[in-house]
Amino acid sequence: MHVLGIDPALTGAIVLCSVQGGALRADLALYWRKHKERRFTLHSVTSDTYGSGLYQQITHVAYAACIKVEAHLTALPTQAQAPLVVFEQPFMGRGRSTSVQIALNAGRIVAPFEASYTNDTAPSYPAVEWRKSVLGCKGSTKREDAKALSVDLVPKSVLGLDALLTKLLVNGAGDALDDVCDAAGLALHHAKVKGLLR
């Protein structure tokens, strides 16, 4: 069983986790950064010998990420079931046009995964909900503080995530740590909600 956590921001991340022996293990992390209008770079790190890769100057980051996840699942020695897909609900407290852009981007990121792996809309959680469950944060915790807690606490609860984060640091991607930890935290919260963990 796999759980796919998605932080669908303009600079976001996806973490594919497997449920093993009642615990969650991070197997693949993808993160992207926007460079120019409609141009992104997509980076990936894995927990095994598949290595890390970089896709330069792509316009459809979600489709490229979906292909990377599917390739990873296909390369596994045993036939993998479709992963449970979960994403963070976009925060809509800003101005109207910014909120629309954030919601559209989240839809673009999540849509290929819903089409590939679910028969319905993927479940989503507000940041406040999953952070309370996983990090013990209150609703009044500032975003920056919650991100720092995520980088500190989530790797202690998701096996193998610390190794992926180390690879990110070695590859000069320290700015992606909080996004990757948030995506893993979402996967952890969803696995708890579904009763997959001990």
Mean pLDDT of successive 10-residue stretches along the chain, which has 198 residues = 89 91 92 76 73 55 81 76 87 75 82 84 90 90 90 94 89 86 95 91
CA dist., res. 57 & res. 44, Å (int): 14
Please report, to the nearest 10 degrees, the dihedral formed by the alpha carbons of residues 171, 172, 177, 179 taken in order: -90
Reference 28, options 58, 67, 61; nearest CA is 67
Half-sphere exposure in the Cβ direction for 91 (13 Å, CA): 9
Reference 28, options 7, 11, 3; nearest CA is 3
Cα–Cα distance list, 95 to 7, 98, 101 (Å): 21, 5, 10
CA dist., res. 47 & res. 70, Å (int): 16
Sorted by where each begins, the domain ranges of the chain are 2-193
E strands present in 21-142: 23-36, 39-46, 53-58, 84-88, 124-125
- Return the CATH superfamily for domain 2-193: Ribonuclease H-like superfamily/Ribonuclease H (3.30.420.10)
Condensed to tens digits (0 to 9), the pLDDT of residues 45-54 reads: 887 644 455 5
pTM for the whole thing? 0.88
Condensed to tens digits (0 to 9), the pLDDT of residues 148-190 reads: 999 999 999 999 999 999 988 887 778 889 999 999 999 999 9
In the chain, the N- to C-terminal Cα span, in Å, equals 14
